[in-house]
Amino acid sequence: MKKRTLGNNGLEVSTLGLGCMGLSFGYGPATEKKDAVQLIRTAYESGVTFFDTAEAYGPFTNEELLGEALAPFRKEVVVATKFGFKNGKPSAGPDSRPERIREVVEASLRRLNTDHIDLLYQHRVDLNVPMEDVAGAVKELIWEGKVKHFGLSEAGVQSIRQAHAVQPVTALQSEYSLWWREPEQEILATLEELGIGLVPFSPLGKGFLTGKIDEKTTFDQSDFRNSVPRFSEENRQANQVLVELLQHIAKDKEATPAQIALAWLLAQKPWIVPIPGTTKLHRLEENIGSAAITLNDSDLSEINTAVAKIDVQGHRYSEAGQKMVNR
């Protein structure tokens, strides 16, 4: 797999990363440990060198899983994790006090079985802590060698600029896909100006853009999509038109809808690195295959023209979740 560079400080990663959250958290019961370890190691063997986790995933269990799985080749991969919630629980609200950041990093280093974190994100902007203090705390950890690069997640333009002025931001992790294009309004131009990479999470619309979910699909009771307005039965039915478009284009390219969705993201900017997650080996193989698909200007124009006519229905988060994004 080819490589891409995030930010201006030379952080080189595989063109596609692996979002590991779903192996432990969010999408139903956790994957059996041996199966999860196998999937992570298969990703590495297939060329993936960029792995994403957070203390909040589990909480804590996802970092432990990743630490064990990556141990044989830790020096060959880039590990990203996150701080920013009280006791590692999103439901408890944000906590990015400098002393808390240090506590999280020390604990994450132990769980990840490593002496440094390659990319440390603030999981969500904390309005109770000045961004300059957050960036300053991470700057100290970088000086100490415990962290290599600083990142933000779901931050707005003002927060990005405030952080970058104190400690250069290497990457912003935010949702971006064919069914969530808000970053195109202000974020992408800001990142390009400042030399910051973009790491889109949920690049497949939390699974919807794969074409394997429709209005009749039921989710496990622990699956957070049950609380997402965009995944209501009514909105899933309305949003099928976007999947049908991807299926049409995929057929011409002898690809899958998921591969077209990922290839579209990769075609937007050379500093965009999506991190699709999966619990299935065949889906991992499918996602990795998207890196070999080239969409030409005509393809991109067709997609953009068609998508512009589609009004995707439903918020992407619950009301509580909406309050913590794009700050």
- Residues marked as catalytic: 57
- Tokens found for residue 35: 């199966």
Distance, CA of 197 to chain centre:
12
* Residue entry with tokens 């370890």: 37
Contact, 46 vs 288, CB < 8 A? yes
* Residue entry with tokens 């077209």: 260
Pairing of strands 50-52, 18-19: parallel
Closest CA to 151 of 249, 71, 78: 78
DSSP string, 99-148: HHHHHHHHHHHHHHTSS-EEEEEESS--TTS-HHHHHHHHHHHHHTTSEE
Backbone angles phi, psi at 119, to 5 degrees: -140, 115
Question: What one-character DSSP code corresponds to residue 32?
Answer: P
**Collapsing DSSP states into helix, strand and coil, what is residue 141?**
helix
- Tokens found for residue 4: 């891409």
CA distance 220 to 61: 20
- Tokens found for residue 318: 């619950």
